[in-house]
Chain A
């Protein structure tokens, strides 16, 4: 890493009397999971480089409640939601960006009814808007000519119909974007959604992430791109299961962009 990260918190911003352009919702995985933290940092490096004024909640951020809700614990979900909404409303948050499709879906769709109204965007949509506004330029760099396939996270794709933003970003890298036989609305789950990440799978004859990784390996990619920290973990495990960790990498779209620019 060439330079250290600048990560202001909302509290610090407020103390200076400033309101950032966008609040970066890091999420539990992005804060604590070793693999996902790299995605968080890659995204921050892009934000720093493009001089986007942003801030995080830091220690004031808490779980959105997504896994509790999908597990059926509506009580816990709503308690989390209302506490988060209090914090977000206190900072008068308007625009939220997040690299986690689960946080994205919950904040965007389920918080408004409980009093939390924000413009919520996924980091791939945000990066795309930076390119559209001319604030970020992307070239292939080390990925030029590589074969990349994109795995649609269920909570980004089917759940919220964001299919194009991540693909547009990948295509900016001068790479060969190949589609799996199941993609976009027909995509197959990575196996982590609906709180499955936090429990053992029911008995069956295969793990979902193994099946999904087979889909991806079928198109013989150099890199499997993802837009969700949970998909990332599941597919990375799938690659290990297939003993392909030397040949195929699983990377978040933000990491692709950051690494292409040598950030």
Chain B
């Protein structure tokens, strides 16, 4: 009979991790739809970024309240997962608190710290819920989040609360049975329970058999909950708990104001400016090459780091709340740029899945169907969104690539910008002044 439990548990683990692996594979495939960009240079600086920003949460604490509460949840979740290792071993081999005899006092300390973290997580998550649903901070009620994103944020909070409560109830029922006079079944004395000792009295007066059964229920629900939550990541902004690490590693290391120089353009400009170039020479023909597109109109034109950014975005809205265009009521929201990119990428991924691994054009694109030119033209390229992002996402790089498409492929810049560009072309200045007058200021009073 007891083997049935172990087998059931093993199946559960295989299914849970199997689905998870399939999701991860899909995410990696989708990210690889992006154009290649080299982000492997300077590994030292990259590891440092990851250690400070993802592991060390250095950018989270720039907003101290959310930052510190986030650290509770983050540390709580990571550390409590050490407990998961014990749960998995217990589940597979039918043991109970398998580490306890080997760790002695250390085990007491571990369990006690898990409990304290669990209560801190519940506290933090409650404050988060209040900020979203009662105080209604502006960035959390923004229209970008209407629909699933708003529910998603709350589902995560509920999930975390339930998991932590189950963890504490599991410990409380265990503790109750540990203290049964004369001992009960396999519940030997192990661990220290600073929080659940206050919960344990609710089991007083309940039969040992029933408490034992409740323990089993809490234990199973807790592990099943974790596996379900893990598989929910794929559909959720909560994916950031994994992707924040690669995302900070591969983030841009160059100065924020340095925009990349398009190589394809460099080639053409050099050819144009080379007096020895034969204007009538046919370009070397590569039959297989798709005509190069300048800038980006869809997710496949973006680079893989930009797509990784989209999957990493946790929709916290710090970017949008610091965006000067957004603060002055313009349509641009850097968060929406990231969410749109992710939504479109998911859609493209589904299209590929439905068509046996090839993308079949669906007459839609990131530009226009998701992001409008009005949003793109409102950007001042000030980098506030990039600076603000706790995980180094750059909405600006996507905005700039899409502007490039609008201007170089569609000649669709706003009229005054066309005039500015004509002036630069003709006079070498954005205004209509002659280059010959550049030094006139010298003699003016």
Contact = CB atoms under 8 A, between A and B. Distances in A.
A110 B330 contact: no
Contact of A59 (B324, B416, B417, B439): B439
A233 B425 CA distance: 24
Interface string B42-60: 0000000000000000000
B430 A185 contact: no
A183 to B, nearest CB: 12
Nearest to A78: B269
Contacts, number: 219
Interface stretch (B7-15, B32-40, B358-366, B377-385): B377-385
B380 A79 contact: no
Interface string A202-243: 111111101110000000000000000000000000000000
Contacts of A210: 328
B384 A188 contact: yes
Interface stretch (B97-105, B118-126, B252-260, B333-341): B252-260
B325 A72 contact: no
B132 interface: no
Given A72-B407, A109-B258, A82 B383 contact: no
Interface in B370-404: 374, 377-384, 386-387, 400, 403-404
Interface string A58-81: 110111010111111111101111
A159 B417 CA distance: 23
B374 A154 contact: no
Given A37-B441, A73-B407, A198-B416, A80 B428 contact: yes
A159 B385 CA distance: 12
Nearest to B261: A113
B256 A159 contact: yes
A31 B324 contact: no
A28 B431 CA distance: 8
B112 interface: no
A73 B442 contact: no
Interface residues of B, number: 68
A189 B405 CA distance: 25
Given A37-B444, A68-B421, A191-B324, A31 B429 contact: yes
Contact of B382 (A78, A194, A200): A194
A54 interface: no
Interface in A182-201: 185-189, 191-201
A114 B433 CA distance: 27
B63 to A, nearest CB: 11
Interface stretch (A1-9, A14-22, A163-171, A249-257): A1-9
Contacts of A154: 257, 380-384
B424 A208 contact: no
Contacts of B378: 201-202, 204
Interface centre among B262, B387, B424, B430 (most CB of A within 10 A): B424
Contacts of B355: none
B443 to A, nearest CB: 8
Interface in B413-441: 413-414, 416-417, 419-421, 424-425, 428-431, 433, 435-441
Given A79-B273, A154-B380, A186-B322, A7 B442 contact: yes
Nearest to B414: A199
A9 to B, nearest CB: 7
B381 A194 contact: yes
A73 B408 contact: yes
B445 interface: yes
Contacts of A114: 261, 266
A187 B428 CA distance: 31
A32 to B, nearest CB: 5
A202 B332 contact: yes
B259 A72 contact: no
Interface size range of chain A in the complex: 35 or more
A32 B425 CA distance: 16
B404 A204 contact: no
B278 interface: no
A98 interface: no
A32 B429 contact: yes
A158 B444 CA distance: 35
A31 B324 CA distance: 28
Interface centre among B265, B294, B440, B442 (most CB of A within 10 A): B442
Interface in B265-286: 265-266, 268-270, 272-273
Contact of A203 (B330, B408, B428, B429): B330
Contact of A158 (B295, B383, B437, B442): B383
A114 B419 CA distance: 26
Contact of A5 (B380, B384, B431, B442): B442
Nearest to A61: B438
A69 B416 contact: no
A189 B382 contact: yes
Contact of A199 (B387, B416, B440, B441): B416
Contacts of B182: none
B258 to A, nearest CB: 4
Contacts of B438: 26, 31-32, 57-59, 61
B439 A155 contact: no
B139 interface: no
Given A61-B438, A189-B382, A72 B272 contact: no
B439 A58 contact: yes
B329 interface: yes
A123 interface: no
Contacts of A149: none
Nearest to A75: B265
A62 B381 contact: no
B327 interface: yes
Nearest to A73: B407
Given A192-B380, A198-B430, A202-B374, A71 B407 contact: yes
5 contacts: A26-B441, A63-B428, A79-B269, A79-B273, A154-B380
Given A31-B441, A193-B382, 7 more contacts: A28-B431, A31-B437, A76-B424, A76-B425, A114-B261, A195-B417, A208-B325
